[in-house]
C-alpha cells in the first residue's frame, strides 16, 4: 500500500536543520500533490519575563518569524507547491502537535533534527523528540548531512 500525504506540516525556526526539513517537505509535497503548511512558533517561554519596556523583543521575534515564513512561502511557490504559513505564540513542543497539526489535518510532520547534546536532551528534551512521541500523524525528522554542514 502506498501512503499518500495531503497535508504536510513543516516546522521552521531559521536553523540549517529546519531549512533541510523544508527542502525535504517540498519534495514530498510535489510527489504527493499535497498542501504544505510552513509553521513557525514564537517560543513564549523565552518571552514570559518581559516587561512592557522590553516588549520590543517580542516584536522582533514576530518580525523575524514573518520574514522567515515569507521567504519559505516564496520558495515553495517557486517550486509549484500550494503553501500556507502559520505563525503562533507558544511552546513549540506543544503547539506543533496539539494545536497546529490537528487544526490543519496534517498527515505528515517534517522537522529538523536538533543540535542539542546528550545532556541537554536529558534535561530539557528536544522539540523533534517531543514531536515524534506525541504526534497525531507520521513524522519525518531530517538530519543535515556532514558534507552539507561543511559547505
CATH of the domain at 133: 3.40.50.620
Q: What is the mean pLDDT of the chain?
A: 85
* Mean pLDDT confidence for 44-69: 72
pLDDT band at 120 (very low <50, low <70, confident <90, very high): very low
Structural domain boundaries enclosing 96: 7-150
The model's pLDDT over 83-107, given as tens digits with 9 standing for 90+, comes to 999 999 888 889 999 999 999 999 9
**In a domain? residue 69:** yes
Grid cell listed for 81:
507547491
CA distances from 18 to 24, 49, 106 (A): 10, 27, 18
Tell me how far apart the alpha carbons of residues 24 and 8 are, in angstroms, rounded to a whole number: 11
* Mean pLDDT confidence for 32-37: 97
**In a domain? residue 1:** no
* pLDDT computed for residue 113 by the predictor: 85
Residue 136 in this model has a pLDDT that exceeds 80 = yes
Across-strand partners of 40?
Answer: 87
Residue 124 in this model has a pLDDT that exceeds 70 = no
43 vs 12, higher pLDDT: 12
- End-to-end, the C-alpha distance of the chain in Å comes to 38
**In a domain? residue 111:** yes
* Mean pLDDT confidence for 66-83: 97
**In a domain? residue 123:** yes
* pLDDT computed for residue 129 by the predictor: 87
Grid cell listed for 40:
513557525
Number of domains the chain contains:
1
pLDDT band at 3 (very low <50, low <70, confident <90, very high): confident
* pLDDT computed for residue 42 by the predictor: 86
* pLDDT computed for residue 149 by the predictor: 53
Residue 122 in this model has a pLDDT that exceeds 80 = no
**In a domain? residue 2:** no
> Which parts of the chain are beta strand (E)?
7-11, 35-43, 83-90, 108-112, 138-142
Residue 71 in this model has a pLDDT that exceeds 90 = yes
Amino acid at each position: 500500500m502506498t501512503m499518500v500525504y495531503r497535508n504536510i506540516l513543516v516546522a521552521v525556526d531559521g536553523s540549517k536543520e529546519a531549512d533541510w526539513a523544508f527542502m525535504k517537505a517540498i519534495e514530498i509535497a510535489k510527489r504527493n500533490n499535497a498542501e504544505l503548511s510552513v509553521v513557525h512558533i514564537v517560543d513564549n517561554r523565552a518571552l514570559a519575563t518581559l516587561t512592557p519596556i522590553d516588549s520590543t523583543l517580542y516584536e522582533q521575534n514576530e518580525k523575524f518569524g514573518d520574514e522567515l515564513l515569507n521567504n519559505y512561502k516564496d520558495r515553495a511557490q517557486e517550486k509549484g507547491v500550494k503553501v500556507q504559513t502559520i505563525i503562533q505564540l507558544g511552546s513549540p513542543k506543544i503547539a506543533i502537535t496539539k494545536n497546529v497539526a490537528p487544526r490543519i489535518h496534517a498527515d505528515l510532520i517534517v522537522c529538523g533534527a536538533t543540535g542539542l547534546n546528550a545532556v541537554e536532551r536529558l534535561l530539557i528534551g528536544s522539540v523533534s523528540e517531543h514531536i515524534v512521541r506525541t504526534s497525531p500523524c507520521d513524522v519525518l525528522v531530517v538530519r543535515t548531512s556532514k558534507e552539507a554542514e561543511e559547505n
